[in-house]
């Protein structure tokens, strides 16, 4: 019998965690060793338990998923992280991989893809879907034009998403531990790079491209 792969499931929705645990329990070589509902709890469990693969939601209540991913990879570089999200992978997948993720799985296709992804990253591989691999190949080959938001830096993209969710600049500043002036500067850069004039345009763009839920 092959060695068990110990999994930590990180998602703030109990129904999602329970669904993932139920699905993974049917696999003889995979075991859910722990579950967490936020980034702080996840980091504590990583200190306490043997974890082979982290399956982590991109959107958590206490931390930005990509920031948390970078912290995990700094503290535990040997632990593969699979990012799980409702967002389409062409918008967030490449950013997750750049931040250190071993793979990116869309929640809508998790039943089909997650088991294969876990097994692959547990042995040191990386997992991306066929669709994402094709998109990356097109971009490298110059056959696919860059979408406006793809020109943003990681911090600009983070601020863009928060503005698109209707969060006020002062609240964005508090959450990111930045000054309101700095956040305002990011907003100006975002509008310029994306050739837009207002927050409402950013919101419409984000909804149209499934970067936020409408």
Q: Please provide the DSSP assignment of 155-212 as one string.
A: HHHHHHHHHHTT--HHHHHHHHT--HHHHHHHHHHHHHHTT--SHHHHHHHHHHTTSS
Domains (range + CATH), the chain? 5-138 (3.40.50.2300), 148-208 (1.10.10.10)
CA dist 60 and 36 (Å) reads: 10
Rounded CA-CA distance 101/95 in Å is: 9
Structure tokens, 92: 């967030």
DSSP lists the bridge partners of residue 85 as 106
Indicate the DSSP class of residue 197: -
Compute the distance between CA of residue 54 and CA of residue 122 in angstroms, rounded to an integer. Answer: 10
Measured CA to CA in angstroms, residue 20 lies from 111, 112, 208 at distances of 9, 12, 29
pLDDT in tens, the chain (214 residues): 458 999 999 999 999 999 999 999 999 999 999 999 999 999 999 999 999 999 999 888 888 788 899 899 999 999 999 998 877 666 677 788 888 999 998 887 777 789 999 999 999 999 987 666 666 665 555 555 567 888 888 889 889 988 998 999 999 998 888 899 999 999 999 999 999 999 999 999 988 877 775 5
Tokens of 57: 């939601």
CB atoms within 10 A of CB 146: 8
End-to-end Cα, the chain, rounded Å: 46
- 154-167: burial string, b at 16+ Cβ within 10 Å, e else: ebbbbbbbbbbeee
User: What is the C-alpha to C-alpha distance for residues 188 and 113, in angstroms, rounded to an integer?
Assistant: 39
The C-alpha atoms of residue 37 and residue 165 are separated, in whole angstroms, by 21
**From CA 143, how far away is CA 145, in angstroms rounded?**
7
Q: Is the dihedral of CA 63, 67, 71, 77 positive or negative?
A: positive
């Amino acid at each position: 019998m092959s060695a068990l792969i110990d999994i930590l499931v990180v998602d703030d929705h109990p129904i999602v965690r329970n669904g993932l645990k139920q699905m993974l329990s049917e696999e003889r070589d995979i075991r859910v060793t722990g579950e967490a509902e936020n980034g702080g709890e996840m980091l504590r469990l990583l200190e306490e338990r043997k974890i082979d693969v982290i399956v982590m939601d991109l959107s958590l209540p206490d931390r930005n998923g990509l920031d948390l991913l970078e912290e995990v990879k700094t503290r535990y570089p040997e632990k593969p992280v699979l990012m799980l999200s409702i967002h389409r992978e062409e918008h967030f997948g490449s950013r997750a991989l750049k931040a250190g993720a071993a793979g990116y799985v869309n929640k809508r296709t998790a039943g089909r893809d997650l088991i294969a992804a876990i097994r692959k990253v547990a042995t040191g591989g990386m997992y991306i879907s066929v669709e994402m691999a094709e998109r990356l190949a097109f971009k490298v080959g110059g056959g696919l034009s860059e979408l406006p938001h793809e020109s943003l830096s990681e911090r600009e993209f983070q601020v863009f998403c928060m503005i698109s969710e209707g969060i006020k600049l002062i609240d964005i500043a508090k959450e990111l531990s930045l000054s309101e002036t700095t956040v305002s500067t990011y907003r100006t850069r975002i509008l310029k790079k994306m050739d837009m004039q207002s927050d409402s345009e950013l919101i419409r763009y984000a909804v149209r491209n499934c970067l936020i839920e409408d």
